[in-house]
Amino acid sequence: MAMDDERQVNEQETTGPEREPLSVPPGESKSPGVGRKPEEKAQGNSPRETGKKRLLPPIRHLPRLLILLAVVLVVVVLTTMEDGNHFVTLRRWLMYGDSGTGENEYAYVADNNNRFAMLGDGLLVANQNTIQLLDDDGTIRYTTSVSMSAPMISASGDMAAICDIGGTSIYLVDESGVRRTMKTSNGLRYYSARLNSSGWLAVTEEKNGYKASVSVYNSSGELVFSFDSYDNYISDALVTEDCQSVVAVGLGAQDGTFGSTLLVYDLSEAALTASCQIQDGLPMDIACGRNDRILALCDTRLAMADQEGNLLLDYPYGSLYLHNYALGGDNFSALLLGKYQAGNICELTTFDQEGQEIASLEINEEVLDMSAAGGYLAVLYSDSLVIYNRDLEEHAQLVGTDYAGHVIMESDGTALVIAGTAAWRFLP
């Protein structure tokens, strides 16, 4: 009998009670209550009330939600404090651990012609005979045999261009090896090859019948712009950070004296849109910073212009000598000038993106190298490394650099110290 009763209950739950048909007799309108049992109205299952119930999260999800909100709050606070330096410190600690010098190091063969750059998480080393990418565990990821006389590296993230200045070859490499090799024809020469942060490449080269030629390739390696200069010698070129224009350095005479001109070409219209003259200065290095600023380091002055051709900074060295510089900071550049050509009495000065002087610091030690990235400036002395912020306030110091001669500052606040046969990372 119990089993029969249970079977009857199950059948009632399955079939349910009979419902009245939903058809409406002629002459009557269908009302919202038709087809709904009185009990459902009493329970208050209206769409509005049902929506309110769904907005309330289950209690079991509250701990996870609170943790997520706490993490977001911490990230926001660290990012806004001290221009995001605390967040950079947290990220650096998560990647590398405690402060000090890294246990692993990059090892390579000593060569006075070695050129260095960071490529992804590896160290790119190029000289006259080889191109190598090294891992920090001492292994060589790849080696390529080349023949160059004066290699120059322009690196951007996970891609680099290695140009033989005055030679006939350009090698485009990534973390897996050589992606593409470019060659000139008829014995012509390359003058420069530069990558911007988006991987766009500007190549300046010699061309028959013209004084120079400039070509621009996008990040996929496609030629998107080219022009031949018949009235200006072009020594260098760089694509702007927005990938809308290319800045070329033109050389020539101005009012009977040597001078240079920054030429801005629009990539889409292939037209000259602006120019800025630099009186009595030979540009040795150029860079494009934030806010469309163009930096030109010359033998006699530091110049800064915008893409409309307005000269924002013309800082002549006067009777001082250029000892070193750094143009890679996010919102600043640095200049080291000395009273004597071979002396150690120098003045270190930083400038913002509007051409205004930020800070100045007198230095009485020999400076071997300088590098800027993010909000930091690394200055390598004879036996120590000091990392400053843009206000030239000391951020960190490493004593004992084992005869290192070069330094590469990274935007996360770490610095790669480079010696004759090995390089290691300094973690402030």
Residue 180's nearest CA partner among 236, 125, 221 is 221
CB-based burial label for 399 (10 Å; 0-12, 13-18, 19+)? exposed
Q: In what order do the strands lie in the sheet with 367-373?
A: 367-373, 376-381, 384-389, 394-399
Q: Can you tell me the distance from the alpha carbon of 314 to that of 262, in angstroms, rounded to the nearest whole number?
A: 13
What DSSP state is assigned to residue 378? E
What DSSP state is assigned to residue 157? T
- Within-domain flag for 236: no
What DSSP state is assigned to residue 331? S
Burial 50-64 (b: 16+ CB within 10 A, else e): eeeeeeeeeeeeeee
pLDDT of residue 363: 96
pLDDT of residue 392: 98
Low-confidence spans in the chain with pLDDT less than 70: 1-104, 254
pTM over 0.85: no
Q: Are 234 and 250 in contact (CB under 8 A)?
A: yes
- Within-domain flag for 104: yes
Place of tokens 């000038």: 337
- Within-domain flag for 289: no
pLDDT of residue 342: 85
| pLDDT single digits (tens) 211-239 | 999 999 999 999 999 999 998 899 999 99
Q: Can you tell me the distance from the alpha carbon of 117 to that of 153, in angstroms, rounded to the nearest whole number?
A: 7
- Within-domain flag for 205: no
Residues in the chain: 428
Reduced to 3 states (helix: H, G, I; strand: E, B; else coil), residue 402 is: coil
- Within-domain flag for 127: no
User: Which H or E run includes 39?
Assistant: helix 38-42
- Within-domain flag for 77: no
- Within-domain flag for 308: no
Place of tokens 């907005």: 55
For 398, the domain range is 84-113+318-428
Residue 124's nearest CA partner among 91, 157, 86, 95 is 157
Q: Can you tell me the distance from the alpha carbon of 54 to that of 346, in angstroms, rounded to the nearest whole number?
A: 69
- Within-domain flag for 129: no
**How big is the chain by its Cα radius of gyration, in Å?**
32
What's the structural domain count of the chain? 1
CATH of the domain at 411: 2.130.10.10
pLDDT of residue 220: 93
pLDDT of residue 68: 65
**Token pair listed for 174:** 């990534």
Q: Can you tell me the distance from the alpha carbon of 424 to that of 106, in angstroms, rounded to the nearest whole number?
A: 6
Q: Can you tell me the distance from the alpha carbon of 77 to that of 261, in angstroms, rounded to the nearest whole number?
A: 44
